[in-house]
Amino acid sequence: MRFLNEPQYDLTYSDVFMAPSRSGVSSRLQVDLTSTDALATPLPLVVANMTAVSGRRMAETVARRGGIAIIPQDIPAAVVGGTIAKVKASHTIFDTAVTVTPSTTTGEAMSLLTKRSHGVVVVVEDGHPIGLVGAAETAETDRFTQVHEVMSTDLLLVSPDDAPETVFEQLLERHQQVAIAVRDGQLVGVMTSRGALRSTIYQPAVDSQGQLRVGAAVGINGDVTGRAEQLLRAGADVLVVDTAHGHQEKMIESLARIREVRDQLAGEVGRIPLVAGNVVTREGVADLVEVGADVIKVGVGPGAMCTTRMQTGVGRPQFTAVLECAEAAREAGASVWADGGVRHPRDVALALAAGAGSVMIGSWLAGTHESTGDQRTDAEGRSYKESFGMASARAVKNRTREQSAFERARAGLFEEGISSSRMYIDPQRPGVEDLLDFITSGVRSSCTYAGAASLPEFHDRAVVGIQSPSGYEEGRPLHASWS
């Protein structure tokens, strides 16, 4: 990457733009978005290890589309192990169905519809699908009515081995909303027309056994080696050693110990990549790579739920932090994740242009069907989910649940982050896959403007300039007339 005009100060994503270059890439679909980090996932996107965002539904959905999610550190290791097992057991192409029994009430079934983007609940009996329930079937029915009384029994059953194109054609021919995959009479998953299309564009992120990939986070306090060993044995595909201030002695000590555990188990589970952070300087990158990090997480204070910069004055504008840390990581044979500060597809593209191996996203994904929170409705009828920062009092309370009441109360005095924020669900993009479409289409287009068919080429060819606030504002679309 090169600058059109050399910067005199550190830059955020909003401070920069990318100039177009001569291009031989004629189609967005020609662009290979394989990440340039140690994971080499088909999509360079990572779901942040935020309790309000990343769970089983999010992990399996994102992995089907080529990214990877990190399960948070404040969830007990045994529970995380169960989550990993469920993600690994999920089908790599067909979406996991939301299921109920025939005696489930329509009220309960309707409350489950927002857990997935496909908009239906499958009624099963002894594992066999016997009906579908959606908004149409439950309209104007008493919420205590059992689903077997209102369910649709006109089902399109397909084989999980059927090609997505075949499923799409059958859905079109039958005028059905969802196809149900069945093997030996047992429900495997579901697929919508849009899901079939996506399955031909995205490649799932899978491990050596052909199972979906998922990562897990470890803190730097408590029994870090015990947790790391449990997560590795449970099948985590990457371990993220995570703390707000990653360039500290305790992180270095914890990372070194976790690396030893990882290396001892390599013959049993393979060599699992280690991610560590967060840092924003060359020195931070060098120190963490020296003790075993394969990937460095970059970002202090740019996240939507983070108040660190306003409370402490500590942090660094994210574009410059990523640019400098990525260069330092490459020199040391490692890579970086750009963590935080992305609010538009352009920001993801600019992070990758700056040299990020992948981009980590948190709050932007909180307002989707697949995030962990329950969907709520405000006084105006708008749907939202609650989000909170991982250094907030709410997160600290979760993370210190095993400590004494006194220690928990004392820790709660020092919060850095928002404990409750409403992340509204965009009616146009209510599911995480809708956001992935939005983000990746922008990134692919950015690559074509740069004349790059891959992310290494994109970083090599990108030409970036510095702009004024009015220059940034000029690029924002208008959703209503200015007259």
With beta carbons less than 8 A apart as the criterion, state whether 303 and 260 touch.
Answer: no
**Residue among 335, 423, 418, 334 nearest 375 (CA):** 423
**How many other CB atoms are found less than 10 A from the CB of residue 424?**
12
Alpha carbon distance, N-terminus to C-terminus of the chain = 40
**Separation between Cα atoms, residue 192 and residue 125, nearest integer Å:** 22
Q: Where are the strands (E) in 43-155, listed by range?
A: 45-47, 68-71, 99-100, 121-125, 128-133
162 is in an annotated binding site: no
With beta carbons less than 8 A apart as the criterion, state whether 305 and 339 touch.
Answer: no
Tokens 């393979």 map to which residue? 270
Find the radius of gyration of the CA atoms of the chain.
Answer: 23
**How many other CB atoms are found less than 10 A from the CB of residue 124?**
18
Q: What is the dihedral of CA 308, 309, 311, 314, to 10 degrees?
A: 90
| Secondary structure of residue 407 in the 3-state scheme | helix
348 is in an annotated binding site: no
242 is in an annotated binding site: yes
Q: Is 306 a catalytic residue?
A: yes
Q: Judging by beta carbons within 10 Å of its beta carbon (0-12, 13-18, 19+), is residue 152 exposed, middle or buried?
A: middle
123 is in an annotated binding site: no
47 is in an annotated binding site: no
301 is in an annotated binding site: yes
CA angle (312 as vertex; 307, 315 as ends), nearest 5: 75
| Secondary structure of residue 326 in the 3-state scheme | helix
Q: Which of 306, 328, 361, 418 is catalytic?
A: 306
Residues placed in the known binding site for K(+): 301, 303, 306
Residues placed in the known binding site for NADP(+): 242-244, 299-301
Residues placed in the known binding site for NAD(+): 242-244, 299-301
Residues placed in the known binding site: 242-244, 299-301, 303, 306
**Residues with catalytic function:** 306
